[in-house]
Every structure is written in structure tokens, then in C-alpha cells.
């Protein structure tokens, strides 16, 4: 059976299905300097293996390096239409291609998987999103003449999928009066749900 928060989140996504921006959430990681770091990403679905949130990212990005060092992550996700907020706390597994792994993954949370397993993700992305994985190194200063050699049918060596697996979820419904707040905690292989004061 799927996690109770997942059923709720699936409903929120359904209510906002006409709004593409409802798939954006903020992903916070721990910077190499120990400071929090935060950015917007796109929700790419739930993982089949566990109740995780999937995100695609570039292995050259800061967040990738940060997650290799420390898999801890927080997500905050607000649905403007239904006026609901979700907060997630957990760990992130990094899925990268076994062949193109040049990043020396050592953390046990990270998973080097086969190209065959990663290819369906790649193929499901729009041409525009795939071409971003052939852009010059993210975060570096722009230089004049970087060649852009994009064959978007070929899986980029910089492509990775993040699987954010929460152990704590909080839900807040601003519409309800009084506001409804719930906490879901993963303990002893079960989700424990509590209503808490808003
Ligand atoms: C609406 C929106 C959606 C985005 N989606 C993603 C995404 O799915 N994956 C990603 O890596 N970056 C995405 N970005 C870019 C990130 O916010 C960020 O600028 C980039 O990944 C570099 O972050 P980092 O240096 O902290 O790794 C998105 C930005 C915006 C504004």
C-alpha cells in the first residue's frame, strides 16, 4: 500500500493538473560549507521502488556534489490552487549511468544503475530539457565560444535522476477552518500519522 501522504499528494496534483507550475517545488540541500542551499526543481513523478519523489539533474551541478557528500534533503511544495503546503525531510539517492560514471560515487545512498534503466527517463523528457544536459558547465562563468554539441537522442553523460525518499512529511491545508496540519513519520517500517496544531 502506498504511503498515506502520497495519496494526499496525488490528489493535490490532480486538482492542479491544469497548472504546469504546480509541478515545481523547492529542494534544499546542505552546502559543502554546511550552509543550507535551495533551488526550484520539477517533479518528475514517484519512484516505483519506494515512495520517493523523482527529479532530474545535471551531475555537474552544485546540488549533485552536495548530495554526494550529504544525502540529506528537504522539499517544500505549495499548491496555490488548493492552498496546500507539503514539507518533506529525508535522504536522496542519486541514480546515474554505470557507463558514464566518472564522479567516483562512494556513498551507499547512491546507486549506479545501467544505461538501460536510465534511458526511459531520458526519452520521456522534452527535447528542450534534454538539450540542457549538453549546455556548458552549469554555475561557471559564461565564455564566448563554448561548442554546443547536442545529440539529444543520446543519453547525456551528465544526466542523473534524484530519488528523494522522505522519512518525515508535513501537510498544511490553509483552506480548512481551523487550518488542518498533519505530520507523517516513518518509524519501524510504517508511516505514523498525527493531526497537529497549525
Ligand atoms: C521553474 C524551474 C524549474 C527548474 N527545474 C529544474 C530541475 O528539474 N532540475 C534541475 O537540476 N534544475 C532545475 N531548475 C534550475 C535550478 O533551480 C537551479 O538553478 C540549477 O539546477 C542549479 O542549481 P544548483 O547550482 O544548486 O545545483 C529549475 C529552475 C526553475 C526556475
Pocket mutation for ligand 1, best pick of 39, 43, 54, 156 (most atoms within 8 Å of C-beta):
39
Query: Which ligand 1 atom minimizes the distance to the CA of 21?
Result: 1
Over range 120-136, report the average pLDDT.
92
Give the CA distances from residue 125 to residues 2, 3, 132, 159, 197, in Å, rounded to whole numbers and listed in that order: 26, 27, 11, 11, 40
Q: Tell me, what's the pLDDT at 148?
A: 67
Q: Tell me, what's the pLDDT at 152?
A: 86
Pocket mutation for ligand 1, best pick of 21, 36, 41 (most atoms within 8 Å of C-beta):
41
* Residue 180 grid coordinates: 488542518
What's the CATH code, domain 4-196? 2.30.110.10
pLDDT band at 17 (very low <50, low <70, confident <90, very high): very high
Asked which of 46-60, 71-85, 95-109, 152-166 is least confident by mean pLDDT, the reply is 95-109
- Report the separation in Å between the CA atom of 194 and the middle of ligand 1, taken as the mean of its atom positions: 33
Residues having CB closer than 6 A to ligand 1 are: 24, 37, 39-42, 55-58, 61-63, 138-139
pLDDT band at 87 (very low <50, low <70, confident <90, very high): very high
pLDDT in tens, 130-142: 999 999 999 999 9
SS3 122: helix
- Report the separation in Å between the CA atom of 38 and the middle of ligand 1, taken as the mean of its atom positions: 9
Q: Does the structure show a pLDDT above 90 at 162? A: yes
Q: Does the structure show a pLDDT above 50 at 61? A: yes
Q: Does the structure show a pLDDT above 90 at 49? A: no
Pocket mutation for ligand 1, best pick of 26, 29, 40 (most atoms within 8 Å of C-beta):
40
- Report the separation in Å between the CA atom of 41 and the middle of ligand 1, taken as the mean of its atom positions: 5
Pairing of strands 190-196, 180-187: antiparallel
- Report the separation in Å between the CA atom of 197 and the middle of ligand 1, taken as the mean of its atom positions: 33
Domain boundaries, the chain: 4-196
| Mean pLDDT rounded to a whole number for the chain | 90
Q: Tell me, what's the pLDDT at 50?
A: 76
Q: Is the separation of the CB atoms in 53 and 73 below 8 Å? A: no
Query: Which ligand 1 atom minimizes the distance to the CA of 61?
Result: 27
Q: Provide the b/e sequence for 176-186 (b: ≥16 CB within 10 Å).
A: eeeeebbebeb
Q: Tell me, what's the pLDDT at 103?
A: 52
> Which residue's alpha carbon is nearest to atom 18 within ligand 1?
39
Q: How many Cα atoms sit within 13 Å of 149 on the Cβ side? A: 4
Amino acid at each position: 500500500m502506498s504511503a498515506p501522504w502520497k495519496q494526499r499528494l496525488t490528489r493535490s496534483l490532480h486538482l492542479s493538473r491544469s497548472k504546469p507550475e504546480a509541478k515545481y517545488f523547492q529542494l534544499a540541500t546542505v552546502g559543502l560549507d554546511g550552509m543550507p542551499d535551495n533551488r526550484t526543481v520539477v517533479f518528475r513523478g514517484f519512484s516505483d521502488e519506494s515512495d520517493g519523489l523523482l527529479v532530474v539533474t545535471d551531475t555537474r551541478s552544485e546540488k549533485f556534489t552536495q548530495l554526494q557528500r550529504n544525502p540529506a534533503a528537504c522539499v517544500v511544495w505549495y499548491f496555490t490552487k488548493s492552498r496546500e503546503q507539503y514539507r518533506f525531510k529525508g535522504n536522496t539517492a542519486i541514480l546515474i549511468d554505470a557507463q558514464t560514471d566518472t564522479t567516483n560515487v562512494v556513498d551507499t545512498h547512491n546507486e549506479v544503475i545501467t544505461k538501460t534503466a536510465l534511458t526511459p527517463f531520458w526519452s520521456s523528457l522534452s527535447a528542450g530539457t534534454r538539450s540542457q544536459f549538453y549546455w556548458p558547465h552549469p554555475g561557471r562563468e559564461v565564455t564566448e565560444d563554448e561548442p554546443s554539441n547536442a545529440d539529444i537522442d543520446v543519453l547525456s553523460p551528465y544526466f542523473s535522476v534524484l530519488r528523494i525518499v522522505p522519512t518525515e512529511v508535513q501537510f498544511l491545508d490553509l483552506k480548512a477552518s481551523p487550518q488542518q496540519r498533519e505530520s507523517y513519520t516513518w518509524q519501524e517500517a510504517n508511516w505514523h500519522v498525527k493531526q497537529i496544531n497549525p
